[in-house]
């Protein structure tokens, strides 16, 4: 599998061969991609949720000419292969982390921006004519031990007076609602949240982009970038395009070139998903999980899971360290073991589907929208939680590059911090995974 830390450039159509459940079950609109034009006002690199939303905003609201370029097809990266948790959050910081770092007012405003991100996606789904199988849900953070659950319980009152609702789920209530889970320590239920088909969401954004008049170019890796007298020159798929502004929306898929400085400010990490065989009605009743539950545990290397509308369990967690090992049988077996441990009474939960994708981890666990160079703008570092936030971030990025006001929030005020020893990122990750094997 393509590996951003090993490759100078990203290959064209790097997503070919990724056999995800979503690719198998989801129809996709015609992309109607065209040849690369020679000029544009704005070029957006990366046609995932961030790039598609940025391009839609630029074409629809700013009435500017925009070309959206991807190395692969539309949604070639994480956007077409994630778990479809539409969550009120991003990055890895909790309400308490924001409150202690920036104060209660900012922490409240951040939660409201998360609620806005969900509303933004729901509005797009309603406006588009492409069905996304969106189901209202609750986001359940379940403690993997009593201490972690108690911390979640302490955070619950802080959500008062925000646009989010947080309810404490006691161990007894969890046992009654989700009896098939191994860990029964209680947790926090957050709304609004929703479950959806992530590939279909990419299709919905594609339809909106087409309607807005965005020019879409696929199969064109951007390999070179140069700047002279206020104009940018990009080489994509061997062809040249000139523009006034460049938006880099490549998140965890950013290769070493053509923005080497950006690639030292994020850490591409693999997340893997398996999808089980369909559960029988009796099995579903026994484990208690419904399509309205989006579950994540509190471990440092957490697992997340949901029941799909066809009765299968989608189960996700950390992937391999390097792209070349992403599809190893050992990775699949590790995930099958973790799934079996989570639902101890369900037998024969082998993976019918198994795949991986790159997420972008920010050093301080908080994504950023900023301008790394004159006329260049970027948004990344969602740390594996970007279905809702990356969508809104695309719109914010477009507003930011057009000189419009964006909310006064930490995401929009500084650059992503650089990893001090960028070359050692994988050594540290490997060590962390090894230590985790000995944790309970």
Ligand X SMILES: Cc1cc2nc3c(=O)[nH]c(=O)nc-3n(C[C@H](O)[C@H](O)[C@H](O)COP(=O)(O)OP(=O)(O)OC[C@H]3O[C@@H](n4cnc5c(N)ncnc54)[C@H](O)[C@@H]3O)c2cc1C
CA–CA separation, 181 and 369 (whole Å)? 38
Asked if residue 314 lies in contact with residue 306, where contact means CB atoms within 8 angstroms, the answer is: yes
CB of 270 to ligand X, least distance (A): 7
Asked whether position 47 contacts ligand X by CB under 6 A, the answer is: yes
Q: Which stretch binds ligand X (CB under 6 A): 101-109, 130-138, 249-257, 280-288?
A: 249-257
Q: Which is nearer to ligand X, 258 or 410 (CB)?
A: 258
CB of 222 to ligand X, least distance (A): 4
Asked whether position 410 contacts ligand X by CB under 6 A, the answer is: no
Alpha carbon 434 to chain centroid distance? 25
Under rule CB under 6 A, which residues in 218-237 are in contact with ligand X?
A: 221-222
Of 111, 128, 132, the residue nearest 60 (C-alpha): 128
Q: Which is nearer to ligand X, 18 or 184 (CB)?
A: 18
Name beta bridge partners: 86. 194
Alpha carbon 63 to chain centroid distance? 28
CA–CA separation, 256 and 262 (whole Å)? 8
Which of 48, 192, 268, 323 touches ligand X by CB under 6 A? 48
Q: Which is nearer to ligand X, 240 or 345 (CB)?
A: 240
CA–CA separation, 120 and 126 (whole Å)? 10
Helix (H) or strand (E) holding 223: strand 222-228
Asked if residue 155 lies in contact with residue 126, where contact means CB atoms within 8 angstroms, the answer is: no
String of contacts with ligand X for each residue 86-125, x by CB under 6 A: -x--------------------------------------
Of 218, 292, 266, 186, the residue nearest 52 (C-alpha): 218
Asked whether position 77 contacts ligand X by CB under 6 A, the answer is: yes
Which of 51, 91, 143, 268 touches ligand X by CB under 6 A? 51
String of contacts with ligand X for each residue 340-379, x by CB under 6 A: -----------------xxx--------------------
Asked if residue 15 lies in contact with residue 28, where contact means CB atoms within 8 angstroms, the answer is: no
CB of 379 to ligand X, least distance (A): 7
Q: Which two tokens stand for residue 386?
A: 């970007």
Q: Which two tokens stand for residue 289?
A: 């999980």
Q: Which stretch binds ligand X (CB under 6 A): 36-44, 78-86, 130-138, 160-168?
A: 78-86
Asked whether position 384 contacts ligand X by CB under 6 A, the answer is: yes
- Residues 6 or more apart whose CB falls under 8 angstroms from that of 311 comprise 278, 279, 280, 281, 284
String of contacts with ligand X for each residue 260-299, x by CB under 6 A: -----------x-x--------------------------
> DSSP H helical segments within 260-376, as ranges?
260-263, 281-287, 329-342
CB of 367 to ligand X, least distance (A): 9
The contact set with ligand X (CB under 6 A) reads 10, 45-51, 69-72, 76-79, 81-85, 87, 221-222, 249-255, 271, 273, 316, 357-359, 382, 384-388, 390
């Amino acid at each position: 599998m393509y590996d951003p830390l090993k490759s100078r450039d990203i290959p064209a159509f790097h997503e070919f061969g990724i056999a995800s459940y979503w690719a198998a079950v989801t129809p996709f609109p015609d992309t109607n991609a065209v040849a690369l034009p020679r000029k544009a006002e704005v070029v957006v690199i990366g046609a995932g949720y961030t790039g598609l939303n940025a391009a839609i905003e630029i074409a629809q609201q700013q009435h500017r000419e925009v070309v959206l370029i991807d190395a692969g097809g539309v949604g070639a990266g994480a956007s077409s292969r994630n778990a479809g948790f539409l969550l009120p959050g991003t990055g890895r910081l909790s309400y308490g982390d924001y409150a202690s770092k920036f104060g209660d007012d900012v922490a409240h405003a951040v939660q409201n921006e998360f609620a806005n991100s969900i509303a933004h996606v729901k509005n797009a789904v309603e406006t588009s004519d492409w069905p996304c199988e969106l189901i209202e849900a609750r986001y359940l953070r379940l403690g993997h031990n009593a201490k972690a659950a108690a911390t979640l319980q302490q955070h619950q009152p802080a959500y008062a007076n925000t646009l989010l609702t947080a309810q404490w789920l006691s161990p007894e209530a969890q046992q009654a609602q989700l009896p098939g889970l191994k860990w029964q320590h209680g947790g926090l239920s957050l709304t609004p949240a929703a479950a959806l088909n992530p590939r279909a969401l990419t299709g919905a954004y594609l339809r909106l982009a087409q309607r807005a008049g965005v020019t879409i170019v696929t199969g064109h890796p951007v390999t070179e970038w140069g700047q002279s007298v206020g104009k940018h020159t990009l080489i994509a798929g061997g062809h040249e395009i000139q523009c006034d502004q460049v938006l880099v929306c490549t998140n965890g898929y950013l290769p070493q070139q053509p923005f080497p400085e950006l690639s030292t400010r994020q850490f591409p990490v693999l997340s893997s998903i398996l999808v089980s065989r369909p559960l029988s009605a009796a099995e579903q009743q026994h484990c208690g999980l419904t399509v309205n539950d989006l579950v994540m545990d509190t471990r440092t290397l957490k697992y997340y899971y949901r029941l799909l509308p066809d009765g299968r369990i989608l189960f996700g967690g950390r992937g391999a360290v390097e792209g070349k090992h992403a599809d190893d049988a050992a990775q699949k077996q590790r995930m099958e073991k973790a799934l079996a441990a989570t639902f101890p009474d369900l037998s024969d939960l082998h993976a019918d589907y198994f795949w991986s994708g790159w997420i972008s981890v920010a050093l301080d666990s908080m994504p950023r929208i900023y301008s790394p160079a004159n006329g260049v703008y970027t948004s990344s570092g969602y740390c594996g939680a970007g279905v809702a936030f990356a969508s809104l971030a695309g719109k914010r990025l477009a507003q930011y590059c057009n000189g419009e006001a964006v909310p006064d929030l930490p995401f929009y005020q500084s650059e992503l911090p650089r990893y001090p020893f960028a070359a050692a990122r994988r050594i540290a990750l490997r060590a962390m995974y090894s230590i985790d094997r000995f944790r309970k």
